[in-house]
């Protein structure tokens, strides 16, 4: 049964109905990211698609409040009209997951989708000023607000971001947005090893150049985007003279690593959306870890399994593709990662594998207890996306 | 007057034995028990409220903190975590039956990692000392509360503190990567780490801003950033607050991303100028200080652009700093403002936040309300993000004046909420705004937040009587104990 309410009260009603007959409720926006997390069996589905209005947009306050079902496309168009943009550059997971439809804001927030600009401007959670949600008892609740600074009570809005709809149905989100830069340029160094590349990115990020994205594509991956060898990439923004000055400084600082040249294509959408791993049937992992450890992890994995990797966030985000097999190499990946510290999330695999393998990094016991505690207090009946995050 | 819960005499009766047991955990001199010494812990920056705790304990290690928590948990003793005691909201105000757990001895820098741009510290370290540790190598820690010389990172995390430069770099929560937290039952848990965005529920977000009610943070991993080549401010004077407010919005909208954008109104200008002789014009109603950073050329271009954006608002004063001496002078008045006002009168510093478009109206109504209560109010605040700091001047030893000041404060905060804003932008709720929480949230919303505390601190012994109205928390605690 699919409900598509066009009011918040309708959402609350749908949740209450599910509580009454204790039926699991799957929450969806456009469904483009349903392949993330663990597969779900739910007799009821609620779609937020019809809740797609803009509540408030004040460009002079860099503030936007929109309903969860608003599409990112409509949002981008609206912001574009004022030469503004979202701060966290949310990835579009359609190509990677082979889904269709127009991704919604609510979906991006629920899965905490943050792209390359996360490095400089923060993650999805950092952009959230407040939200409205329906908890697992069908109460319509507010958290946070619409102002830029707010420490009134616990920071529930950020908790909802990345909770995959397991703690509440997000109905409306207040966001901080940002102006677009006049100039956006990308510079590259060719042919670096992973280790050298991460050092180069670290050197660049230690410069006060407001680098807004920093990635490294090893040889085979870089070819997918038309490079002829490994490409170490930096995005620089600002007004004309500022961007030029920043590039000049980076050229100087990175001279020891090789020639820094401006490239005239934009690789960042492809990096954001993991296009290099789209369209095949390998398992895809997303690993958050200390940047300087990342090449060591990848080197160690290359000795154990057949794996392709690239790096975003200066190396702090590693994307891996490997053969799916029975467990998507979860054991090898998590065991190796444990030696460094970090979190591995299985971003793409068949339903069977995602049901069998912990998709999110297994929690240590005290944190698992806290997670279960929060779940039981936000959703006592356990009906909201049950099993989406943990079995 | 803000009420505090009735202390539990059964706990106070055990004072001597608890002190003895604490002395088995930390060296004897780190358990403070004489009434004379306890006085130093009787209040924080909200010094109209004072209550010495039952005992104070000053541990050196996380393991000691864990043992202290286990002891207090088993005896049902309330714990009040304390960093440097600069909270302006009564966040670290003790109760008579509480043990204050002071982190002031735990102030080591544990690790600096320039390549990954992180620093790991014990949470008793001051905010400024974190920047101090990395400054020689060209880095800094971004959140910069004005109290940064004194306040501790643990307090910053608990309050999710901000500062003038947060307009560009975000507040504490945006710069915090991980914490070691000792839970109410003494278990030591690591949240996050030296990397971005751990998976699973975002516990760090809950911990940051939880006002010491979810656990004791003993260590933290923080982001550090490369320092800009330089920074320079510019000063604008306006004939009305309204126009100054509009100019703020214009600057933000133009995408010029200054690092700081500070506002002073007439009463604040007059007092500061008399005190600091910063050369502020005295014939204006409002001043804006706008600071940008970068190379010399970048700074010049940004200031030129800002000047152009502000020009249509016809500023009556435009002063651009040309060098470090002039910069220091422009900042001198702003930095001296609180101190200068403190010389004239006692003051309460409020912290509401409103949408930028509401600034002019809120300032106007603030003046009207001040007049109604016959009190002086000066405004010095972070305008770029709408975070107001009305300073209500009053006389602390005149009960009538104190009462009026509190009432005016409450009215002003209600006004912020009415204008789609919030009660507190960076100082926290503490005891001060606890009873006003129901103006911003309804009961169910607060109960959902209280449920979070239930999960972390089932017995509700951590930092009692903060954040939630007593009318909600006391029956809730009674219910839990009965169950
Ligand atoms: C003159 C002045 C200017 C100020 N300017 C600013 C400003 O610009 N911006 C701003 O945001 N604030 C400002 N403040 C407020 C205050 O400095 C901040 O709230 C600061 O973060 C408090 O730090 P502290 O170490 O003094 O904490 P305390 O006052 O000791 O404690 C504050 C809260 O944190 C809890 N706590 C402390 N340490 C821990 C820990 N390790 N684990 C768990 N909980 C803990 C306490 O229980 C309490 O609830 C100012 C205060 C003054 C007096």
Residue A389 belongs to some domain of the structure? no
CA of B103 to the centre of ligand 1 (A): 12
Range of the domain at A319: 275-356
Q: Indicate the SS3 state at residue A82.
A: coil
Domains and CATH numbers, chain B: 9-102 (3.30.43.10), 109-226 (3.30.465.10), 230-418 (3.40.462.10), 441-482 (no CATH)
Residue A101 belongs to some domain of the structure? yes
Please tell me which of the candidates B206, B355, B426 has its beta carbon nearest to residue A146. Answer: B355
Give the pLDDT confidence score for residue A100 in this predicted structure: 97
Inter-chain residue contact B424 with A151, CB threshold 8 Å: yes
- What is d(CA A224, CA A96) in angstroms, rounded to the nearest whole number? 14
Task: Give the end of a domain, one of A152, A179, A206.
Answer: A179
CA of B66 to the centre of ligand 1 (A): 22
Is residue B151 in contact with ligand 1, taking CB distance under 6 Å? yes
pLDDT in tens, B28-56: 999 999 999 999 999 999 998 999 999 99
* Whether A267 and A302 share a structural domain: no
ipTM over 0.90: yes
**Which residues on A lie below 8 Å from B457 (Cβ)?**
none
Pocket test for ligand 1, best of B47, B82, B172 (most atoms within 8 A of CB): B82
* Whether A267 and A297 share a structural domain: no
CA distances from A189 to A9, A195, A196, A218, A255 (A): 54, 13, 11, 12, 10
Is residue B125 in contact with ligand 1, taking CB distance under 6 Å? no
Specify the residue for token string 């209600």: B414
* Whether A32 and A168 share a structural domain: yes
Q: Is B208 an 8 Å CB contact of chain A? A: yes
Q: Tell me the percentage of chain B whose pLDDT exceeds 70.
A: 100
Helices A240-253 and A194-205 pack at an angle, to 10 degrees, of 130
Task: Give the end of a domain, one of A131, A148, A179.
Answer: A179
CA of B412 to the centre of ligand 1 (A): 22
CB within 8 A of B242, min separation 6: which ones? B360, B363, B364
Q: Is B252 an 8 Å CB contact of chain A? A: yes
* Whether A117 and A147 share a structural domain: yes
Residue A365 belongs to some domain of the structure? no
Strand-pairing partners, residue B437, are none
Q: How close, in Å, is residue B464 to chain A by CA atoms?
A: 15
Give the pLDDT confidence score for residue B398 in this predicted structure: 94
CA of A379 to the centre of ligand 1 (A): 33
- Kindly give the confidence (pLDDT) of every residue in chain B, 483 residues in length, as a single tens digit, with 9 standing for 90 and above: 789 999 999 999 999 999 999 999 999 999 999 999 999 999 999 998 999 999 999 999 999 999 999 999 999 999 999 999 999 999 999 999 999 999 999 999 999 999 999 999 999 999 999 999 999 999 999 999 999 999 999 999 999 999 888 889 999 999 999 999 999 999 999 999 999 987 799 999 999 999 999 999 999 999 999 999 999 999 999 999 889 988 998 998 888 889 999 999 999 999 999 998 999 999 999 999 999 999 999 999 999 999 999 999 999 999 999 999 999 999 999 988 888 998 889 999 999 999 998 998 999 999 999 999 999 999 998 898 999 999 999 999 999 999 999 999 999 999 999 999 999 999 999 999 999 999 999 999 999 999 999 999 999 999 999 999 999 999 999 999 888
Q: Render B37-72 in DSSP notation, one character per residue.
A: HHGGGS--S-TT-----SEEE--SSHHHHHHHHHHH
Structural domains counted in chain A: 3
Q: How close, in Å, is residue B108 to chain A by CA atoms?
A: 22
Is residue B425 in contact with ligand 1, taking CB distance under 6 Å? no
B249 vs A359, residue with greater confidence: A359
Residue A132 belongs to some domain of the structure? yes
* Whether A173 and A310 share a structural domain: no
Please tell me which of the candidates A119, A208, A377 has its beta carbon nearest to residue B451. Answer: A377
CA of B28 to the centre of ligand 1 (A): 27
Task: Give the end of a domain, one of A272, A289, A306.
Answer: A272
Q: Which atom of ligand 1 is nearest to the CA of B123?
A: 41
Residue A376 belongs to some domain of the structure? no
Give the pLDDT confidence score for residue B164 in this predicted structure: 83
Is residue B156 in contact with ligand 1, taking CB distance under 6 Å? yes
* Whether A111 and A171 share a structural domain: yes
Please tell me which of the candidates B209, B297, B356 has its beta carbon nearest to residue A155. Answer: B209
Average pLDDT of chain A is 97
Neighbours of A373 (CB within 10 A): 16
Give the pLDDT confidence score for residue A28 in this predicted structure: 97
* Whether A156 and A197 share a structural domain: no
Residue A372 belongs to some domain of the structure? no
Give the pLDDT confidence score for residue B339 in this predicted structure: 87
Inter-chain residue contact B159 with A241, CB threshold 8 Å: no
Helices B470-482 and B443-456 pack at an angle, to 10 degrees, of 50
The CATH code of the domain that includes A221 is 3.30.70.2190
CA distances from A282 to A200, A224, A230, B199 (A): 30, 15, 21, 22
Q: How close, in Å, is residue A223 to chain B by CA atoms?
A: 28
Q: Is B455 an 8 Å CB contact of chain A? A: yes
Inter-chain residue contact A118 with B297, CB threshold 8 Å: no
Judged against a pLDDT cut of 80, whether residue A121 lies above it is answered with: yes
Chain B segment 36-95 residues within 8 A of A by beta carbon are none
Residue A386 belongs to some domain of the structure? no
The CATH code of the domain that includes A27 is 3.30.465.10
* Whether A338 and A204 share a structural domain: no
The CATH code of the domain that includes A352 is 3.30.70.250
* Whether A132 and A36 share a structural domain: yes
Residue A82 belongs to some domain of the structure? yes
Give the burial class of A22: count Cβ atoms within 10 A of its Cβ; 0-12 exposed, 13-18 middle, 19 or more buried: exposed
Q: Indicate the SS3 state at residue B408.
A: helix
Q: Is B308 an 8 Å CB contact of chain A? A: no
- What is d(CA B155, CA B208) in angstroms, rounded to the nearest whole number? 10
* Whether A154 and A194 share a structural domain: no
* Whether A330 and A202 share a structural domain: no
Q: Is A143 an 8 Å CB contact of chain B? A: yes
* Whether A158 and A131 share a structural domain: yes
CA of B147 to the centre of ligand 1 (A): 8
Q: Is A279 an 8 Å CB contact of chain B? A: no
């Amino acid at each position: 049964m699919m409900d598509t309410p066009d009011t918040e009260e309708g959402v609350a009603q749908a949740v209450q109905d599910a509580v009454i007959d204790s039926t699991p409720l799957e929450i969806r926006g456009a469904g483009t990211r349903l392949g993330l997390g663990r597969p779900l069996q739910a007799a009821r589905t609620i779609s937020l698609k019809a809740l797609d209005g803009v509540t408030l947009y004040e460009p002079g306050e860099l503030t936007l409040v929109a309903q969860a079902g608003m599409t990112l496309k409509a949002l981008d168009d609206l912001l574009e009209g004022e030469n503004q943009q979202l701060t966290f550059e949310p990835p579009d997971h359609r190509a990677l997951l082979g889904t269709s439809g127009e991704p919604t804001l609510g979906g991006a927030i629920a899965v905490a989708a943050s792209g390359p600009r996360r490095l400089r401007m923060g993650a999805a959670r950092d952009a959230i000023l407040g939200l409205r949600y329906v908890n697992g008892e069908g109460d319509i609740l507010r958290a946070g607000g619409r102002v830029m600074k707010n420490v009134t009570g616990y920071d529930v809005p950020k908790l909802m971001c990345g909770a995959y709809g397991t703690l509440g149905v997000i109905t409306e989100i207040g966001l901080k947005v940002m102006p677009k830069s006049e100039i956006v340029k990308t510079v590259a160094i060719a042919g670096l090893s992973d280790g050298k590349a991460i050092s180069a990115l670290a050197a660049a990020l230690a410069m006060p150049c407001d680098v807004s994205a920093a990635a490294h594509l090893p040889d085979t991956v870089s070819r997918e985007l038309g490079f002829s060898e490994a490409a170490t990439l930096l995005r620089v923004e600002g007004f004309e003279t500022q961007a030029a000055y920043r590039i000049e400084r980076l050229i100087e600082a990175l001279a020891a690593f090789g020639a820094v040249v401006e490239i005239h294509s934009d690789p960042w959408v492809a990096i954001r959306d993991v296009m290099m791993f789209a369209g095949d049937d390998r398992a895809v992992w997303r690993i958050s870890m200390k940047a300087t450890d990342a090449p060591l992890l990848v080197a160690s994995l290359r000795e154990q399994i057949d794996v392709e990797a690239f790096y975003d966030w200066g190396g702090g985000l590693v994307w891996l593709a490997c053969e799916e097999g029975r467990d998507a190499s979860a054991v090898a990946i998590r065991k190796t990662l444990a030696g460094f510290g970090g979190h591995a999330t299985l971003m793409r695999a068949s339903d069977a594998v995602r049901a069998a393998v912990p998709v999110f990094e297994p929690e240590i016991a005290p944190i698992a207890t806290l997670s279960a505690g929060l779940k039981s207090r936000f959703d006592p009946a356990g009906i909201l996306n049950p099993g989406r995050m943990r079995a | 007057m803000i009420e505090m819960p009735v202390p539990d005499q059964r706990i106070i009766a055990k004072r001597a034995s608890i002190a003895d047991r604490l002395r088995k955990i930390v060296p004897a001199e780190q358990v403070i028990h004489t009434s004379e010494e306890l006085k130093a812990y009787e209040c924080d920056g909200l010094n109209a409220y004072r209550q010495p705790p039952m005992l104070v304990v000053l541990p050196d290690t996380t393991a000691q903190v864990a043992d202290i928590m286990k002891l207090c948990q088993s005896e049902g003793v309330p714990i009040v975590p304390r960093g440097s005691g600069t909270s302006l909201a009564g966040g670290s105000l003790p109760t008579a039956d509480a043990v204050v757990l002071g982190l002031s001895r735990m102030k080591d820098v544990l690790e600096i990692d320039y390549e990954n741009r992180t620093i790991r510290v014990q949470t008793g370290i001051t905010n400024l000392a974190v920047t101090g540790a990395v400054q020689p190598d060209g880095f800094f820690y971004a959140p910069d509360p004005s109290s940064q010389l004194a306040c501790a990172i643990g307090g910053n995390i608990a309050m999710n503190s901000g500062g003038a430069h947060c307009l560009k770099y975000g507040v504490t929560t945006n710069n915090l990567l991980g914490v070691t937290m000792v839970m109410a039952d003494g278990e030591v848990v690591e949240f996050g780490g030296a990397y971005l965005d751990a998976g699973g529920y975002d516990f760090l977000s809950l911990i940051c801003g939880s006002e010491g009610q979810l656990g004791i943070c003993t260590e933290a991993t923080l982001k550090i950033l490369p320092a800009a080549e330089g920074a320079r401010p510019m000063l604008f004077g306006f004939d009305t607050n309204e126009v100054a407010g509009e100019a703020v919005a214009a600057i933000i909208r133009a995408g010029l991303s200054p690092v700081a954008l500070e506002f002073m109104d007439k009463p604040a200008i007059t007092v500061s100028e008399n005190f600091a002789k910063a050369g502020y014009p005295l014939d204006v109603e409002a001043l804006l200080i706008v600071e940008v950073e970068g190379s010399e050329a970048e700074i010049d271009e940004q200031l030129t652009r800002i000047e152009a954006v502000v020009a249509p608002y016809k500023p009556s004063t435009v002063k651009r700093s040309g060098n470090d001496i002039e910069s220091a002078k422009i900042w001198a008045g702003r930095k001296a403002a609180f101190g200068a006002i403190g010389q004239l009168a006692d003051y309460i510093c409020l912290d509401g936040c409103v949408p930028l478009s509401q600034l002019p109206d809120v300032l106007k109504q603030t003046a009207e309300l001040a007049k109604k209560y016959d009190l002086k109010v000066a405004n010095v605040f972070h305008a770029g993000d709408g975070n107001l700091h009305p300073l209500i001047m009053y006389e602390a030893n005149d009960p009538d004046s104190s009462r009026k000041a509190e009432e005016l404060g409450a009215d002003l905060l209600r006004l912020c909420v009415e204008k789609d804003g919030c009660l507190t932008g960076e100082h926290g709720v503490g005891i001060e705004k606890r009873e006003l929480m129901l103006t911003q949230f309804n009961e169910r919303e607060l109960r959902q937040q209280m449920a979070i505390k239930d999960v972390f601190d089932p017995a509700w012994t951590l930092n009692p009587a903060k954040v939630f109205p007593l009318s909600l928390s006391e029956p809730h605690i009674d219910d839990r104990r009965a169950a």
